[in-house]
Amino acid sequence: MADARSLLAAVSAVTGVSVAVVMDRGGFVIEWAGVGLEAEDLAAVASGLLESCDGVGRDLGQGGVKNLVCEFEQGIVLVMGADAATRLAVVLRDRSALAAVRNAADELMLALQRP
């Protein structure tokens, strides 16, 4: 099984990915890969998005948020691991890469959950 660092590199290597950030629940960067954005800014904003959406889901009786996909004019931001101590945020400029990124990100999140 590959280690988390190589799995993060695999996520960031998917065509269309600008940056991928592994962060803690507080939004502090643990590791990142890619170019184009400040990892610290992405981690802080993504963590805040998860917390906000989690509250909305609970208020609406839908339970806590698991993952978040935000589509913007210029691309997509995928945030995973809302219920985990370690989270992942990925910025994609190519919408067609979402399925490939989700597959690679799922593998990374599994590795991050292992003791």
Q: Which amino acid is at 84?
A: A
pLDDT digits (tens, 9 = 90+) for 26-77: 999 999 999 877 899 999 999 999 989 988 989 999 988 889 999 999 999 9
Mean pLDDT across the chain: 91
Read off the pTM. 0.90
Domain count, the chain: 1
Annotate 84-100 with b (16+ C-beta within 10 A) or e (fewer): eebbbbbbbeeeebbeb
The residue range of the domain holding 85 is 4-113
The CATH number given to whatever domain includes residue 73 is 3.30.450.30
